[in-house]
Amino acid sequence: MRRTALLASAALLTALIPLTAAGAASGADDPAPVPVDRFEGEVPFAAQPADGIFTWGGDADDPPALRLADRPDAPEGAKVLTGTYDISGYGGFTHDFAADRPAHDWSAYQGISFWWDGRNNGRKTAFEIKDGGTGGEASELWTTSFTDDFSGWKQIRIPFDDFTYRTDYQPVGGIDHVLGLTQMWGYAVTLPVGVQGGFAMDDVELYGRADQSRRASVTTDAAVYPVKGGGTARVGVTVATTGSAPLGEPVTVAYITGGGTAVPGSDYTPIRGTLTFPAGTPSGATRTIEVRTLRNRTAEPAGTVPLALTVTGAKAPAETPQVVVDAHGLPYLDSGLPVRRRVADLLSRMSPEEKAGQMTQAERAGLTTPGDIAAYGLGSLLSGGGSTPTPNTPEAWAQMIDSFQLRSRATRFQIPLIYGVDAVHGHNNLAGATVMPHNIGIGATRDPQLAEKTGAVTASEVRATGIPWDFAPCLCVSRDERWGRSYESFGEDPALVQSMETVVQGLQGRADGRDLSRDDKVLATAKHFAGDGGTAYGSSTTGSYTIDQGVTTVTRQQLDAVHLAPFRTAVDRGIGSVMPSYSSLDILGDGRGPVKMHARGDMINGELKGRMGFDGFVISDWNAIDQLPGDYGSQVRTAVDAGVDMMMVPYTYKDFRSTLVDEVRAGRITERRIDDAVSRILTQKFRLGLFEHPYADTRGAAAIGSAGHRAVARQAAAESQVLLKNAGGVLPLKKSQKVYVAGSNADDLGNQTGGWTLTWQGQSGTHTPGTTVLQAMRKAGGDITYSPTASAPLTGYDVGVVVVGETPYAEGVGDVGNGHDLALSAADRAAVDRVCGAMKCAVLIVSGRPQLIGDRLGEIDALVASWLPGTEGNGIADVLYGRRPFTGQLPVTWPKSEAQLPINVGDASYDPQFPYGWGLTTLTRVPAGGLTTLKALTRAASAAERAGSARAGRETVTRARLIVQQKAGPTPAAAVSKPFADADHLLLTGRYTAALAELTRAYRAAD
């Protein structure tokens, strides 16, 4: 899933006049505004740590051009801030306050205002403020927007209550997720994308007075109180003060029931009264209000009983608490009925608005208020990459999701939410979770049983935090390693991807869905349908991306054989949901040209739901419908009609829901289509057992990050290691050897885990528990000296180990040409040269894709593709020191040069550095006998094929592969590489005899 990010310093702007003088107007009902920036030249165009305005953008052309201009019509003073822009990715400007001075206190004010010279272009402009932290570039971003639908100067006034915490990008990992307003560092403006434009702005200032009762507040212990008819709801009312001081004056809370959907006297006993907290009451004191409900034997939906609170002397609760008399007696609530009947009954009772709500998914931090869950009847929430609770613990996740689930109880039919996360290599949003190797490494293991085990560990850790839905696995077939998502793929061969789809059973359990209600299983998502791994380099039109979200151009036969095949397998395995790709598909000969996948009804309705028989539901990618042509109504209509059942609309959930209802009422989307979508969503919610058990079952939380789970990740890390070269038997190492360790990735857990780890893009450094390669080698008992840059003396060592490779990235941000390439960094090259020039050496490449190493291959004795192995570096030490053999095989072709890309198994012209399927082994004797042995293995393979013995077939091909690799040596020729790679594809498709024939051909070519 894509996350549109401000990857530059998306900071906020500043104040020119000290705000400590703002209290001068405290006696007035409407105090004078307090200046933040007049744009008269007091604030320079500069950057931190000084006060200053600066610009930023996605590439060199995106930052706007700014100047201070004299304007006779300036709202204040003589000058205004003006600028021009033409932004393809993202861009804007920031005013940061000086970080070497105290932050500003805005807590006494109602909001922030500025003058904007409207162009009436209808475009939204984002406005952010920076709260907390140590400076403008290390603060929390809080955001809102305004629409330029006017001409000429207009004062924009934004109450602080309108700002929401940004989840798609934060410069830090989160401070407290509370807009405190006492440590403000400035503001920022993000300008519209895709149009040339200009702007003028003037007079940023603080306005209004904050509620004088701000320092005392009344809260309730919950917002919703579900209770069975006849039960009593107990509402805890608490008073608290800033700094926990006792109340200086009395606080009264008058309460009264009424105004909801429940019937007084029939569903509950009405009450009214007053609670008094006298002066001197300690902060945190609580009183209880009891609301008694009445038993009603008539089957009916849930009824709400608002408890209106009128508070004097303190800030009132943000919303009115509601007692809810649970729905009862309706057929859909009967767990003994078949799911199909329950779905039909519930669907027949729902309004168009309720159905539209079920088709709507919002980002949890994008909610204007949690009450919107019930107000809009939302069907789903998600956490995008890095969207986590504070603290980021299993307990906090479960509590957060339970609090959201509680809100759904205030709807008529109490339909539970389905909460989703991108747990793409373990529960990677959770600090302390077991982080598996990325899919590229799992593909290298060639171990379907292990793939299933990694899925099972992931599912159990995800479900134990209250999350029933995982946006994984990615079933893309990566055909070009310049793609920033290539590590999300199991490999370049559809047969390899299909073989690894055992992970679906690890996540979901049995294919018929009967295990989904277990506390250790989750609904899985096959993504991205279909062809995202085949996009052509240079075809992307998204910002500065070069290949991600581009165009896949294929014949119908290629589409079926390469990109659709993994989804057929996923459907056969009972996959519960499918996510379309951002990319476009251009099927040669169909006359349509490139069409976005979210608009391809022929693929979603026709192929997926029709020919494949998929009975789950289709969830869009992050804001993907915004990339479709036409106005918003057309975008919604196109995606829904194409077969997308639920829309991931992180921040625009209100607009989507209302637009969908309008489209249905106007007859532009049929009710039948809506009913189909909602039926599919409800079916999975029933299968997951959410109606009976909506809240987190945390019994499995103790196993999160446990030794048992980490043992699976350790095994996966070990089996994913691909030994590409091993001249002189440098590996395995001996514990008696003195080992010199160097390189940027030897001791960096963040680089080792890669993107999609705690944050969307990932980050270098240590941010979750785990073991680096260096730490693991030391724990294995090795005699280790570590010098990151190989600057320490190089004499006196038996062998060197240099661990190099990439730093984290995700999606199009990692595309080659978008600030990335396939070459080692200068520092890594220097470390390799120093160590390998002084001693025998092994080079480990920690990366999401092959790195171009051919120019140094001669000086390297042993070369290992380590991929992105996750948190368990012990698995790497296991193979380095011979505790386990090297058994991994290349899941993608390793190129000699970038000019060869794309290069894949099956290509007519095929001359790589190392072919697909290549992988030396240790601790295993290579069979002797050459051609004679290969002939015997061919007979054995034929017998295995006739007998249907996959195990025997694989063993014969594996033995033959070792013979060929030994004969070919460290630089296999093209005549060897092509049949060698083809043999591995044949092995995966069960054609063992044909695989032996290709390996025999490769052996002969090695002469």
CA distance linking residue 402 with residue 422, whole number of Å? 19
Q: How far is CA 610 from CA 304, 457, 494, 601, in A?
A: 42, 33, 21, 10
Cα pseudo-dihedral 622, 627, 629, 630, rounded to 10: 60
User: Which residue in the block uniquely carries the two structure tokens 């003028």?
Assistant: 200
Q: How far apart are the first and last CA of the chain?
A: 48
DSSP letters, 921-943, are: -SSSPPPP-HHHHHHHHHHHHHH
User: Which residue in the block uniquely carries the two structure tokens 């400590």?
Assistant: 20
CA distance linking residue 940 with residue 951, whole number of Å? 12
What is the phi/psi pair of residue 535, to 5°? Answer: -65, 145
DSSP letters, 393-410, are: SHHHHHHHHHHHHHHHTT
CB 291 within 8 A of CB 323: yes
Residue 628 is encoded by which pair of tokens? 């479709």
Beta strands in 24-70 (DSSP E): 34-37, 52-57, 65-70
Catalytic residue, from 168, 719, 811, 872: name it: 811
CB 382 within 8 A of CB 706: no
DSSP strand pairing (380-383 vs 232-241): unpaired
CB 565 within 8 A of CB 530: no
CB 144 within 8 A of CB 158: yes
Q: Which helix (H) or strand (E) holds 577?
A: strand 577-580
Determine whether 173 is exposed, middle or buried from the number of CB atoms within 10 Å of its CB (0-12, 13-18, 19+). middle
Instruction: Point out which residues pair with 104 in neighbouring strands.
Output: 184
Sheet holding 285-292, edge to edge: 216-220, 232-241, 285-292
CB 420 within 8 A of CB 404: no
Catalytic residue, from 363, 548, 621, 872: name it: 621
Annotated catalytic residue 621: yes
b/e map of 725-751 (b: 16 or more CB within 10 Å)? Answer: bbeeebbbbeeeeebbbbbbbbbbbbb
Three-class SS string for 20-35?
HHHHHHCCCCCCCCEE
What is the phi/psi pair of residue 523, to 5°? Answer: -70, 130
Annotated catalytic residue 1007: no
CA distance linking residue 757 with residue 429, whole number of Å? 6
Q: How far is CA 333 from CA 98, 347, 680, in A?
A: 59, 12, 17
Q: How far is CA 144 from CA 141, 156, 159, 548, in A?
A: 10, 12, 10, 28
CB 205 within 8 A of CB 180: no
CA distance linking residue 1006 with residue 1001, whole number of Å? 9
DSSP strand pairing (164-165 vs 91-96): unpaired
CA distance linking residue 34 with residue 36, whole number of Å? 7
Classify the C-alpha dihedral 35-38-42-46 as positive or negative.
Answer: positive
Nearest to 53 by CA among 61, 64, 44: 44
Beta strands in 638-721 (DSSP E): 647-648
CA distance linking residue 681 with residue 339, whole number of Å? 12
- Active-site annotation, residues: 621, 811
